[in-house]
């Protein structure tokens, strides 16, 4: 079977890397891919949002399964288009992807079905938003979010009324997050450990993947603005077996069931961003896709054939097979461009990749890289994910940091505390 992976990040490199290991697979393509995917797949120069061109390619090449990485093509309806043309694809429909596409839709859905989440209020004009801020609905810190896709960056944690007013101005007036600024969501600030809880669903059942903990803030200890994720470990130290059962029964299964009842059956990877609060797990947000970089340690730990799992989900029976994972731990550390998550320069030559990759157990997942004139250069904010699996988390992280120390590019920065206690929770400024 031939497989097409849509996207160009570290997540897509990890998916293509794992898919390539399947004995069922005769060819892997990645559209558009990156400097790393070209080593495990054939890169195809079609942008991930050019849905008609992707569908034409899949039809022409007789692709047996298309796997979509990023949220944008999903929210644009890539799955609907492929399915209407009879092309097998793994991912949620446009209507199901709204769980991520609109944070307000997701919050109202959770509220309507009494699935645990924090308190919230929505506003659709700057005046309405200012009135909400003036009413000081949930005290401080107050979380202010742009309602739409903002690559993990449209969330502002405000410590005062002045900061909340400024956030409203940035989102709704300055439109710093583009069209995502048409509406704004206010949320009570939830405290606890954050967990990325990701399942694969066939629309009816859900298969939980091994748990992960992301590190969203750019600086050590949770400081600075949020990013798409600076590093991930698996398993999450905040989730016991018992909690997995509770999350499946109290959050995941009701979400899958209610989405089906609302005529939005969710097939694909469902990512619940959870906060482990003193009152139990609560949903911070949903993503309609695999995590990035959560996928990297998950693929390092997955022992079963990913293609069989994805094909079973598409066929409607994701629980058909036992799935095996390594018992130990895995991690992925992101090496980012200078300035990320703000503006950054591209085209910096990356050195030390071969030395790093020669270290035992290290797998490099490329994200913002390009292969140009025989060299790898930076082409995005998150440049590389350094991954390793080991018997223990400490063992995996030691390997990872040793490898990261061998890689260099102008402006490179990364967190030094991935996998250390307390590193995963967001810390409001000043605390």
Is 285 a binding residue for ligand AMP by CB under 6 A? The answer is: yes
Strands 89-90 and 65-68, bridge-based pairing: parallel
The rounded distance, in Å, linking the Cα atoms of 170 and 174 is 5
Binding mask 207-236 toward ligand AMP (x if CB under 6 A, else -) reads ---------x---------x----------
Select from 218-226, 276-284, 287-295, 367-375 the region that touches ligand GLY (CB under 6 A).
287-295
Residue (63 or 115) nearer to ligand AMP, CB: 115
Residue (64 or 154) nearer to ligand GLY, CB: 154
Is 228 a binding residue for ligand GLY by CB under 6 A? The answer is: yes
Q: Quick one: which of 207, 179, 210, 184 has its CA closest to 196?
A: 210
Collect all residues with Cβ–Cβ distance below 8 Å to 98 and sequence separation of at least 6.
Answer: 75, 105, 106, 264
CB atoms within 10 A of CB 3: 28
Residue from 163, 187, 294, 390 binding ligand GLY (CB under 6 A): 294
For 182, 247, 361, the CA distances from 211, given in Å and listed in that order, are 33, 11, 21
Smallest gap, in angstroms, from Cβ of residue 415 to ligand GLY?
13
Task: Give residues 152-171 in contact with ligand GLY (rule: CB under 6 A).
Answer: 152
Task: Give residues 111-170 in contact with ligand AMP (rule: CB under 6 A).
Answer: 118, 143, 145, 152, 155
Smallest gap, in angstroms, from Cβ of residue 213 to ligand GLY?
10
350: burial class by Cβ within 10 Å (0-12, 13-18, 19+)?
Answer: buried
Is 318 a binding residue for ligand AMP by CB under 6 A? The answer is: no
The rounded distance, in Å, linking the Cα atoms of 280 and 274 is 10
Structure tokens belonging to residue 41: 């797949």
The rounded distance, in Å, linking the Cα atoms of 370 and 378 is 6
Q: Are 254 and 115 in contact (CB under 8 A)?
A: yes
Is 294 a binding residue for ligand AMP by CB under 6 A? The answer is: no
Select from 106-114, 291-299, 312-320, 323-331 the region that touches ligand GLY (CB under 6 A).
291-299
Select from 13-21, 290-298, 323-331, 346-354 the region that touches ligand GLY (CB under 6 A).
290-298
Collect all residues with Cβ–Cβ distance below 8 Å to 193 and sequence separation of at least 6.
Answer: 213, 236, 237, 238, 275, 276, 424, 425
Is 412 a binding residue for ligand AMP by CB under 6 A? The answer is: no
Is 328 a binding residue for ligand AMP by CB under 6 A? The answer is: no
Q: Are 90 and 67 in contact (CB under 8 A)?
A: yes
Q: Quick one: which of 257, 252, 255, 246 has its CA closest to 279?
A: 246
229 binds, among ligand GLY, ligand AMP, none (CB under 5 to 8 A by kind): ligand GLY
For 81, 203, 204, 328, the CA distances from 251, given in Å and listed in that order, are 29, 15, 14, 26
Select from 78-86, 187-195, 204-212, 310-318 the region that touches ligand AMP (CB under 6 A).
187-195
CB atoms within 10 A of CB 278: 7
Binding mask 304-343 toward ligand GLY (x if CB under 6 A, else -) reads ----------------------------------------
Count, residues near ligand GLY per rule CB under 6 A: 8
Is 194 a binding residue for ligand AMP by CB under 6 A? The answer is: yes
The rounded distance, in Å, linking the Cα atoms of 63 and 87 is 8
140 binds, among ligand GLY, ligand AMP, none (CB under 5 to 8 A by kind): none
424 binds, among ligand AMP, ligand GLY, none (CB under 5 to 8 A by kind): none
Where along the sequence are the contacts to ligand AMP (CB under 6 A)? 118, 143, 145, 152, 155, 187, 189-190, 194, 216, 226, 273, 284-285, 426
């Amino acid at each position: 079977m031939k497989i097409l992976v849509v996207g160009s990040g570290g997540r897509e490199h990890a998916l293509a890397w794992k898919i390539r290991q399947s004995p069922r697979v005769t060819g892997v393509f990645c559209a558009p891919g990156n400097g790393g995917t070209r080593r495990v797949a054939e890169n195809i120069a079609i942008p991930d949002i050019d849905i008609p061109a992707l569908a034409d390619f899949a039809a022409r090449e007789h692709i047996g399964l298309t796997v979509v990485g990023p949220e944008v093509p999903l929210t644009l309806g890539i799955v609907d288009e492929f399915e209407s043309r009879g092309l097998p694809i793994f991912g949620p429909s446009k209507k199901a992807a709204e769980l991520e596409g609109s944070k307000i839709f997701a919050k109202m859905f959770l509220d309507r079905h009494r699935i645990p989440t924090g308190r919230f209020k929505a506003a659709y004009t700057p005046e309405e938003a200012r009135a909400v801020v003036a009413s000081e609905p949930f005290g401080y810190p107050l979380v202010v979010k742009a309602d739409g896709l903002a690559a993990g960056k449209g969330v502002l944690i405000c410590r005062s009324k002045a900061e909340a007013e400024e956030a409203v101005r940035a989102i709704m007036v300055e439109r710093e997050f583009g069209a995502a600024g048409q509406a704004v969501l206010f949320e009570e600030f939830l405290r606890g450990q954050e967990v990325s809880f990701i399942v694969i669903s066939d629309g009816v059942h859900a298969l939980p993947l091994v748990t992960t903990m992301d590190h969203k803030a750019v600086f050590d200890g949770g400081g600075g603005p949020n990013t798409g994720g600076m590093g991930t470990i698996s398993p999450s130290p905040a989730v016991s077996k018992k909690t997995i059962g509770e999350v499946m029964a109290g959050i995941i299964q009701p979400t899958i069931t209610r989405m089906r009842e609302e005529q939005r059956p969710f097939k694909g990877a469902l990512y619940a961003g959870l906060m482990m609060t003193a009152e139990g797990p609560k949903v911070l947000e949903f993503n309609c896709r695999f995590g990035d970089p959560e996928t990297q340690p998950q693929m390092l730990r997955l022992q079963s054939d990913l293609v069989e799992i994805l094909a079973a989900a598409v066929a409607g029976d994701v629980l058909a097979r036992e799935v095996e994972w390594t018992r130990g731990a895995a991690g992925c550390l992101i090496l980012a461009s200078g300035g990320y998550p703000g503006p950054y320069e591209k085209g910096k030559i990356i050195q030390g990749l071969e030395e790093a990759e020669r270290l035992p157990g290290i797998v490099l997942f490329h994200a913002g890289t390009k292969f140009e004139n025989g060299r790898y250069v930076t082409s995005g904010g998150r440049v590389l994910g350094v991954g390793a699996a080991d018997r223990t988390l400490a063992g995996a992280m030691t390997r990872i940091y040793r490898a990261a120390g061998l890689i260099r590019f102008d402006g490179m920065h990364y967190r030094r505390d991935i996998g250390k206690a307390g590193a995963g929770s967001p810390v409001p400024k000043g605390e």
